[in-house]
């Protein structure tokens, strides 16, 4: 809950997703080390991240797997006391500057696993640039943080850098997904609030036909709806955070927080731009940037459609559709 409030405040300050993303990974990513790392690993891995001496990137998504994580192709083949990793990753943030990488790889081929979610392992290891090439992806927003395609060729990873048991990495990863969804929802709400504040200020000050445009109900009502949607999404986000902090099941609430926060934030940014009229397209008024930045919350780390499928299946008892 404290992390959600903090990340929301950063986004709401006007820093939006670029500012939040600067520390987003460091908030939820290392949680897997806290929960499943050995005492020796915690003592070795966490202090440099906490102090800021080291930056970590998170590499799970792949170009041919997308959200179907069970079909990742990056392999980790054991050779004595180390693993040799080969593969590709996509949308890895901070790959240009990171000293460490937290990555998911298959240690057992999918065809040999009893379940598709078996046979994947998590590693936290040095970002060896002799073995990992990071190609930056140019994107529409969030440009304060680099996003990359990674090409991994013969990366040697000591056994001591594997987190938890071999083959259990996917189950460990799931524990980080709910906090990430909660944080993304909180960040989107923060951006929506920043956009709403600029829109209402502009509506009070902009005079057309001898009266402020904010006096017109066609301007007032959409902004009022935005306020209510943001407040409702925020309550769901805090509810999800409370469930997670208390150790209760929070999958549905976390997914709902991400979905509702992203939708409310995005709609507030759209309304803010239309409230500004033509000036909403001008960079000087910032609302176009908020709209670009909030868009990613609707796309990642999980799509709107998969969240709807999750809720339909897990909460409503409907048959799995994919």
Three-state SS across the chain?
Answer: CHHHHHHHHHHHHHHHHHHHHHHHHHHHCCHHHHHHCCHHHHHHHHHHHHHCCCCEEEECCCCCCCCCHHHCCCEEEEECCEEEEEEEEEEEECCCCCCEEEEEEECCCHHHCCCCCCCEEEEEEECCCCCEEEEECCCCCCCCCCEEEEEEEEEEEEHHHEECCCCEHHHHHHHHHHHHHHHHHHHHHHHHHHHHHHHHHHHHHCEECCEEHHHCHHHHHHHHHHHHHHHHHHHHHHHHHHHHHCCCCCHHHHHHHHHHHHHHHHHHHHHHHHHCHHHHHCHHHCHHHHHHHHHHHHHCCCCHHHHHHHHHHHCCCCCCCC
Instruction: Specify the pLDDT at position 242.
Output: 98
Instruction: Specify the pLDDT at position 180.
Output: 93
Would you tell me the crossing angle of helices 287-299 and 169-205 to the nearest 10 degrees? 150
DSSP state of 210: T
> Could you tell me if 249 and 269 are in contact, meaning their C-beta atoms sit under 8 angstroms apart?
no
> Could you tell me if 87 and 75 are in contact, meaning their C-beta atoms sit under 8 angstroms apart?
yes
Strand, coil or helix: what is 109?
Answer: coil
Instruction: Specify the pLDDT at position 228.
Output: 98
From first to last of its 322 residues, the chain has per-residue pLDDT tens of 999 999 999 999 999 999 998 888 888 888 899 999 999 999 999 999 999 899 999 999 999 887 788 999 999 999 999 999 999 999 999 999 999 999 999 999 999 999 999 999 999 999 999 999 999 999 998 888 899 999 999 999 999 999 999 999 999 988 888 999 999 999 999 999 999 999 999 999 999 999 999 999 999 999 999 999 999 999 999 999 999 999 999 999 999 999 999 999 999 999 999 999 999 999 999 999 999 999 999 999 999 999 999 999 999 999 999 8
Instruction: Specify the pLDDT at position 197.
Output: 98
Instruction: Specify the pLDDT at position 29.
Output: 81
Instruction: Specify the pLDDT at position 176.
Output: 81
Instruction: Specify the pLDDT at position 22.
Output: 85
Instruction: Specify the pLDDT at position 313.
Output: 97
Q: Which residue has the tokens 């409370």?
A: 242
What is the 3-state composition of the chain as percent helix, strand, coil, each rounded to the nearest 5?
A: 55, 20, 25
């Amino acid at each position: 809950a404290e992390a959600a409030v903090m990340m929301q405040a950063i986004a709401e300050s006007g820093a939006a997703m670029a500012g939040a993303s600067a520390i987003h990974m460091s908030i939820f990513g290392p949680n897997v080390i806290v929960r499943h790392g050995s005492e020796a690993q915690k003592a070795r891995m966490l202090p440099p991240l906490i102090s800021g001496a080291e930056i970590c990137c998170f590499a799970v998504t792949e170009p041919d797997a997308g959200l179907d994580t069970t079909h990742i192709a990056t392999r980790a083949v054991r050779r004595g006391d180390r693993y040799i990793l080969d593969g590709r990753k996509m949308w890895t943030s901070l790959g240009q500057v990171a000293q460490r990488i937290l990555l998911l790889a298959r240690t057992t081929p999918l065809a040999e696993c009893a379940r598709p979610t078996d046979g994947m392992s998590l590693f936290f290891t040095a970002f060896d640039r002799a073995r990992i090439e990071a190609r930056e992806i140019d994107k529409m927003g969030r440009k304060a943080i680099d996003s990359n395609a990674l090409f991994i060729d013969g990366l040697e990873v000591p056994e001591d850098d594997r987190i938890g048991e071999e083959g259990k990495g996917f189950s460990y990863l799931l524990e980080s997904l709910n906090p990430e969804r909660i944080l993304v929802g909180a960040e989107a709400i923060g951006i929506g609030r920043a956009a709403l504040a600029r829109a209402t200020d502009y509506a009070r000050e902009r005079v057309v036909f001898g009266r402020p445009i904010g006096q017109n109900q066609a301007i007032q009502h959409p902004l009022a709806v935005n306020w209510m949607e943001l407040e409702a999404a925020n309550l769901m986000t805090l509810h999800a955070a409370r469930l997670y902090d208390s150790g209760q099941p929070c999958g549905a609430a976390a997914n709902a927080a991400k979905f509702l926060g992203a939708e409310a934030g995005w709609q507030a940014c759209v309304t803010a731009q239309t409230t500004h009229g033509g000036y909403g397209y001008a960079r000087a008024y910032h609302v176009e940037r908020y709209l670009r930045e909030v868009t990613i919350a609707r796309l990642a780390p999980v799509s709107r459609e998969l969240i709807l499928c999750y809720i339909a299946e897990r909460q409503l008892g409907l048959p799995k559709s994919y």
